[in-house]
Structure 1
Amino acid sequence: MRHFIRSAAVAIAMAAASTVSISAAMAADISGAGATFPYPIYAKWADAYKKETGTGLNYQSIGSGGGIKQIKAKTVTFGASDAPLKGDELESTGLAQFPMVMGGIVPVVNLEGVKPGELVLDGPTLADIFIGKITNWNDEAIKKLNPDVKLPDQAIAVVHRSDGSGTTFNFSYYLGDVSADWKSKVGVDKALEWPVGIGAKGNEGVANNVSQTGGAIGYVEYAYAKQNKLTYTDLVNKDGKKVEPTAAAFSAAAANADWSSQTGYGVILANQAGAESWPMTSATWILVYKKPDDAAATTEALKFFAWSYAKGDDMAAELDYVPMPDAVVKSVEEMWGKDIVDGNGKPLYSGM
């Protein structure tokens, strides 16, 4: 029933939007840029959407920082970021922000003989590794967490993002929440002055570097770990429970989120309480102009996002992303109908 209702809504929206937009058959590809975190699911949705409607998606997976810059420069129709903009910035730029999907960030390692999920880390130990305090895999702090794992006497090679990254924002937010040292010495941002390690561009770059470097550790969105067959670690969460990265664990972290409490739905999901919660869970957001210069292009983008909300849940689950709750989707689509308008003040979306 959920898919039927959403599908019906998107069909109505597409019909209504045709009065302010060119037809799908003649439409240029929808242009967007930003976060690498959701790229696997955006690519999967885009492929299915093009087969159904004929309209493609040209999405540049360049990192959240790049996506924010491009939407502000108006070189793309939408930007994508895993680090939400705050209310005052949304207000000053005239941007609308809404969450598209949720997922998990996982530590990934390259240790001979260690299988995915076999190694466990906690937040303070992870922070000490990325701050440069822990430099060897047989450090006592790691051994204490892994009494049954044969840890090598091997230097740790830290791999981090080199670009402005929402994945880094959420990763550093979590580390800042569990480590006073991290918070005071490194901080929380999309781009950091890293104390140690080598930088790589995008989730793709970090995944590639870890896979090619013995003794390496990095952090990527879970889909990248699976696609690249990387060894992910389990984590000890806020409740002191060992958890593995799964869609259920990401959902548990988001279960009590109050999306309406923040302007632009900017809720941070890192380090949420709950015995089953994955501590590095994140949403990813879309940015579009409330009064876009190209109303037709933004209309096409909203049609794609509405279609993804309506028909994309199963595809998201296949890649271990978590769809947004129905109540959030309803609220977002109501916001579209109220706030995103053409030059005459006419709503670009009228599906509700």
Structure 2
Amino acid sequence: MTPLFQPRFNLPSEQDESENTQVTTIDDISNKTAVSATMPTTIDILASTSAFPFVQRWIAQYENQQLASLINLNVEYLSDREIIAAEGDNSRLSDLTIVGTSNENNNTLYLPVSAQAVAIVYNIPSFPDIPTGLRLNSTILSLILNGSINEWDDAAIKGLNPDLNLPHEKMVVVHNNEDNTHGRSSSSQLLLNQYLGSQNSRWPINDSIVTSEPAELAEMVRRIPYSIGYVDFSYAIQTKMTYAAIGNAGGDYIVPSANSIGRAIDVALQFYNSDTDSTPSQEQHLPTINASRIVSDAYPIVGLYYASLPVSNDYKEEDEISRRAVILDLVQWIISESGGQQTLLEVQYPSIYSDNDQLVAYANITMDSVQKNSS
């Protein structure tokens, strides 16, 4: 990848750098670097709660490469619905937003920064705390999540899993309370609905538990025997959850992994314009995942996370120009192969820019457009 400009610092080559990164909960993360006598450049970031496992790594690793006294990254984690509302609130504008849904308007540019995959997680105590080979397809999963199938040894589930000793136990469905609130679902729910072929989710009236955020959902599934739910795949990896193999359009049952998610990106990334040699003056169309193309060995519940960059030419003061330079440097580091894309491997997400010339071209054009509007 040939970026428009290089980040000021490169990641250390030692592998144990990532191992030293603390992985805790959102509340345990300090979003501010040390304060020195000189006033640091402060960057305000909004990030989707579902992206927390890798965003907190990005922030920690990027800050480790900077002089802490010069850069202050403030991160607030919100639901996708809250982020969309915040983007429409001029009193709550951020310098950078990382989100799984787009709210395109003339004042914002979106740049893909990571794959997004939804894992179907569950807790059967007699199964090991790793992927067990449980198979689920869109039909069966839809019936489970709406309560029509409510026992683990239901004949339909056993038909897909004849070799598994499924218990005769009631299922407990766990889901987030933001889903379908005011018609605005989370990006995870939107991807799940797309896979299920439904516009809205219907949850069981009984035998279901409502949670407020992905971390809580993951924790509830881990604590409650015979429960089932859905989380961003990075949460499943971070908390070592058990997750299912999901049936795709080709009839294959695929466990989420860096390889299967990367395969989905390779075959299903869609651009509305196919010209890889576009110039910055040409209209750019947001890259998306076309789920109908996900076949073969590709995991089927896949989308993208985006960095949302406000487009403004109001950066005239020296401190504003410096702040925008830091924002662009951070984004460039996130999409660089030796930076943020390498970090994604820690949560088994693939680099989305590796060997993808068209996406690299899109990123260069987008970054160039932001730079021009900032000068």
TM-score interval, normalised by the smaller of the two chains: 0.7 to 0.9
Matched-pair contact (CA < 8 Å) for 2:111–2:366: no
- Whole-angstrom CA distance in 2 between matches of 1:274 and 1:56: 43
Equivalent position of 1:280 in the other structure: 301
Deviation of 1:348 after TM superposition, in Å, equals 3.1
Matched-pair contact (CA < 8 Å) for 2:313–2:373: no
Three-state SS of the structure 1 residue aligned to 2:364 is helix
Equivalent position of 1:252 in the other structure: 263
Deviation of 1:203 after TM superposition, in Å, equals 1.6
Partner residue of 1:316 out of 344, 362, 366: 344
Matched-pair contact (CA < 8 Å) for 1:160–1:219: yes
Matched-pair contact (CA < 8 Å) for 2:48–2:99: yes
Equivalent position of 1:169 in the other structure: 190
Q: Does 1:125 align with 2:145?
A: no
Moved more, 306-315 or 205-214: 306-315
Deviation of 1:276 after TM superposition, in Å, equals 0.5
Paired residue type of 1:60: E
Q: Does 1:58 align with 2:74?
A: yes
- Whole-angstrom CA distance in 2 between matches of 1:268 and 1:62: 23
Matched-pair contact (CA < 8 Å) for 1:249–1:276: yes
Matched-pair contact (CA < 8 Å) for 1:270–1:279: yes
Q: Does 1:81 align with 2:99?
A: yes
Deviation of 1:241 after TM superposition, in Å, equals 0.8
Deviation of 1:265 after TM superposition, in Å, equals 1.8
Q: Does 1:225 align with 2:246?
A: no
Paired residue type of 2:53: P
How is 1:98-137 mapped onto 2 (pairs within 5 angstroms)?
98-115=111-128, 116-118=130-132, 119-137=134-152
Identity across aligned pairs (percent)? 22
Three-state SS of the structure 2 residue aligned to 1:129 is helix
Matched-pair contact (CA < 8 Å) for 2:119–2:230: yes
Deviations 1:36-75 (A, max 9, x none): 2322211111111111123243222212111222222242
TM-score scaled to structure 1, two decimals?
0.81
Matched-pair contact (CA < 8 Å) for 2:136–2:247: yes
Q: 1:149 to 1:72 in 2, by over 3 A?
A: same
Equivalent position of 1:146 in the other structure: 161
Matched-pair contact (CA < 8 Å) for 1:337–1:348: no
Paired residue type of 2:97: G
Paired residue type of 1:239: G
- Whole-angstrom CA distance in 2 between matches of 1:250 and 1:145: 23
Deviation of 1:83 after TM superposition, in Å, equals 2.0
Deviations 1:100-132 (A, max 9, x none): 111321100011112332211111111111122
- Whole-angstrom CA distance in 2 between matches of 1:209 and 1:46: 27
- Whole-angstrom CA distance in 2 between matches of 1:298 and 1:257: 33
How is 1:152-231 mapped onto 2 (pairs within 5 angstroms)?
152-163=167-178, 164-176=185-197, 183=198, 187-188=199-200, 194-196=203-205, 197-231=208-242
- Whole-angstrom CA distance in 2 between matches of 1:97 and 1:336: 10
Matched-pair contact (CA < 8 Å) for 2:8–2:329: no
Equivalent position of 1:29 in the other structure: 42
- Whole-angstrom CA distance in 2 between matches of 1:293 and 1:69: 23
Q: 1:268 to 1:260 in 2, by over 3 A?
A: closer
Partner residue of 1:68 out of 68, 81, 84: 84
Q: Which runs of 5+ in 1 are unaligned?
A: 13-24, 177-182
Paired residue type of 1:58: N
Deviation of 1:336 after TM superposition, in Å, equals 2.5
Three-state SS of the structure 2 residue aligned to 1:208 is helix
Matched-pair contact (CA < 8 Å) for 1:97–1:264: no
- Whole-angstrom CA distance in 1 between matches of 2:156 and 2:101: 31
Matched-pair contact (CA < 8 Å) for 2:99–2:306: yes
Deviation of 1:249 after TM superposition, in Å, equals 0.3
Larger helix fraction of residues = 1
Deviation of 1:330 after TM superposition, in Å, equals 3.3
Matched-pair contact (CA < 8 Å) for 1:103–1:322: no
Deviation of 1:193 after TM superposition, in Å, equals 6.0
Q: Which runs of 5+ in 2 are unaligned?
A: 10-37, 179-184, 274-283
Matched-pair contact (CA < 8 Å) for 2:269–2:289: no
Equivalent position of 2:61 in the other structure: 48
Q: Does 1:333 align with 2:354?
A: no
Deviation of 1:267 after TM superposition, in Å, equals 1.0
Deviation of 1:151 after TM superposition, in Å, equals 0.9
Matched-pair contact (CA < 8 Å) for 2:268–2:291: no
Q: 1:264 to 1:303 in 2, by over 3 A?
A: farther
- Whole-angstrom CA distance in 1 between matches of 2:237 and 2:290: 22
- Whole-angstrom CA distance in 2 between matches of 1:273 and 1:214: 32
Q: 1:287 to 1:252 in 2, by over 3 A?
A: same
Deviation of 1:281 after TM superposition, in Å, equals 1.2
Matched-pair contact (CA < 8 Å) for 2:312–2:373: no
Deviation of 1:233 after TM superposition, in Å, equals 0.9
Three-state SS of the structure 2 residue aligned to 1:347 is helix
